[in-house]
Amino acid sequence: MTLWLILLALNYSSWALLCLAVARHHRQHFGAEVSVRRSRLLRLGGWLTMLAAWVISVHWRGWDIGSVDWCASWMLAAIAWVLLQPYRPRFARWLAFVGGAASLFALISFLSPTLF
Amino acid sequence: MAWLHTWAGLIVSWVLFAIFLGGTLACFDKELDYWMRPALHQLAPGPIAMDAAATTLREMAPHAETLYLRPPSARDPSIHGFVFEPGKPTIDVALNPRDGTRIPPTVGGNFFFVLHYNLQAGTPGVYLVGLAGMLMLLALVSGVIIHRRVFKDFFVFRPQAGGQRAWLDGHNLTGVLGLPFHLMIAYTGVIIMMSTYMTAGVQIGYHGDLAAYYAALSSTPHPVEQHRLPSRVASLNKILHDAVQRLGGPAQYLEIEHVHDASITISALAAGNDEVAGGRRNLIYDGTDGHFRGESESPPAAYRTYQFLSGLHRVQFGGAAIRWLYFLLGTAGCVMLATATQVWIEKRQRKAEAAGLRSGYGLVRALNIAVIAGMPLASVALLWANRLLPGNLAVRASWEAQSFYAVWLLATIWAVLRLRRGKPWRELFGMTAALLLALPLLNALTEPRSSLLASIVDHDWVLAGVDATALALGLGFAWLAWLNTRPRKNVRRDARIGAASASSHAARPREKSA
């Protein structure tokens, strides 16, 4: 269950980052032009988060089932972000931020239980 | 290329919708099987009666040479018996795991699974589904090619634009973002039946003898007949117990070969739910004294590849969570198909209004409602029929299926009759919502021991899950019905709104009209 939430949250955050890197959507969300540097950073963050989700999934469930898990949650997360975006843009961003942060926290506490 | 997408898609979109919805529901075929068999609910704990089940199956098919028994699993506590005899109807029965007796028949969730691969129409249906699957692959590929702004509009969804624009956005959204799933499911779906669709290999390698081809694929070495009756028959209970120990996990099937011969052999196939391709280990036992003979060889790489592809499609691996993801992605596929026909209809609305209702356009609209709003209604009606038909009725299973067809037919008539004066979308979605929301109530009234409350108290999450999902889906359909209560905008007004919103969002990037 935790794995699923982490996978969905990370994939969702990665789509949010990739989307906000696009000039048109950045303007929609923040009303300002995105700088080249910011756009690159957002895009890099998006791809890295996506990759991290895949690594976690494969680590937990093996390359075959893990990849299927990742791919399925990847698509659903994309649909969720795109559906939420026009109706509740603020909530959509908030979810990406909180979801991403919470899953990073969960991961760190999982990897190093002695730290906490 | 656009014409290819339109026609490859449109011709089969309704068939594909039925296949997609059937397949989406079949993600939980065993859970529905269980829900539809109240005799299995609240079973007393006890040993698994594999031997009694085998006796029942032998009485049903006294001349069968091979029997298959599926032991209880976490998803379905019944013992399932299968017999495939050439020239006779397949036997597929659920048996009580405590005493091996037959359980009152039902089509079960298996109905949706069969509907999904042959539209309940036998071999011609298999070919029709295969054709639809191949055309879907064509429509997917041509769809990506004609969608010039596939990356630019990757995240774009403009529900407020209304009319054709919003439908097309919805179609692109579910089509593009779900594309890996749709490609995978259409491709593997065709591949599963490849020996039926592409017969050249079997024609050349096995001179058209399908039985010889399947025998060569089977990993069990076939015993040589001894032409005398077996002196005794080993206990299946003991063999199953031993197999589970050796496999370190559940067995998917026990196969009993040469039932009436001294060469009787029993093999146990591993469930292998921890691999996409499914189980590869197959344990072989002597059928007279039950001693373990050894393991058959792993299937060859080519066949293992086939198993991987069909495993990806059939999603028997990885537990309930992955089935839920498939269920949601399948729903996205249904939305992709429903919005597709809607785009086609909206696009032709003005032309059709000029031609008048007598044109085929009215018929297309009515049939569209009949398929997309009618099939969910018929599916829920099947569950209602399961609870309302008397348990001791011999033809119960076929009556359940008949009620599915009858309700679908009624929905079609309703859509045709109400197209001009009423709001058939809202009415059919509303009826579906009402039936879904009342399903837990019906369940509690007819089978009090299986009610949502009782199953929660009993920690029976599979049973409770079906009722809870019915409630959630009922709310979803109520929302769809509510959406359809809003006044329908006409095309010209939509065009103006589209233009107005484009100019009022001048801050947005230059939007070229697609």
Q: Taking chain A, what is the end-to-end CA distance rounded to the nearest angstrom?
A: 21
Q: What is residue B514's predicted lDDT score, i.e. its pLDDT?
A: 33
Q: What is residue A113's predicted lDDT score, i.e. its pLDDT?
A: 63
The answer to whether A79 contacts B322, with C-beta atoms less than 8 Å apart, is no
The answer to whether A79 contacts B159, with C-beta atoms less than 8 Å apart, is no
Collect all residues from A whose CB is shorter than 8 A from any CB in B: 1, 4, 15, 19, 22-25, 27-28, 31, 61-62, 64-65, 68-69, 71-73, 75-76, 78-79, 81-83, 85-87
DSSP H or E stretch at residue B295: strand B292-295
* Nearest CB to B181; choose among A64, A75, A83: A75
Confidence tier at A37 by pLDDT (50, 70, 90):
very high
Chain B residues in contact with A62 (beta carbon < 8 A): 274
Q: What is residue B477's predicted lDDT score, i.e. its pLDDT?
A: 96
Q: What is residue B503's predicted lDDT score, i.e. its pLDDT?
A: 38
Q: What is the mean pLDDT of residues A69-97?
A: 93
Q: Min CA distance, A114 vs chain B (Å)?
A: 30
Domain count of the fold of chain A: 1
The answer to whether B177 contacts A69, with C-beta atoms less than 8 Å apart, is no
Kindly report each contact of residues B215-224 with a partner whose C-beta sits within 8 Å and lies 24 or more positions away, as own/partner: B217/B299, B217/B303, B219/B282, B219/B296, B219/B297, B219/B298, B219/B299, B220/B255, B220/B257, B220/B265, B220/B267, B220/B282, B220/B284, B220/B296, B221/B284, B221/B296, B222/B257, B223/B257, B223/B258, B223/B263, B223/B264, B223/B265, B224/B263
pLDDT digits (tens, 9 = 90+) for B430-473: 999 999 999 999 999 999 999 999 999 999 999 999 999 999 99
Domain span holding position A109: 2-115
Test the A interface: residue of B155, B173, B305, B508 with most A CBs within 10 Å: B155
Q: What is residue B355's predicted lDDT score, i.e. its pLDDT?
A: 67
* Nearest CB to B507; choose among A27, A61, A78: A27
**Full pLDDT tens readout for chain B, 514 residues:** 788 888 777 778 999 999 999 999 999 999 999 999 999 998 888 899 999 999 999 999 999 989 999 999 988 899 999 998 888 888 999 999 999 999 988 999 999 999 999 998 888 999 999 999 999 999 999 988 888 788 878 888 888 777 788 888 889 999 999 999 999 999 999 999 888 888 888 888 888 887 788 777 776 677 888 888 888 899 999 999 999 999 999 999 999 999 999 999 999 999 988 889 988 899 999 999 999 999 988 888 888 999 999 999 999 998 899 999 999 999 999 999 999 998 888 888 777 777 665 667 888 888 999 999 999 999 999 999 999 998 778 788 999 999 999 999 999 999 999 988 888 999 999 999 999 999 999 999 999 999 999 999 999 999 999 999 999 999 999 999 998 776 555 444 444 333 334 333 433 333 333 3
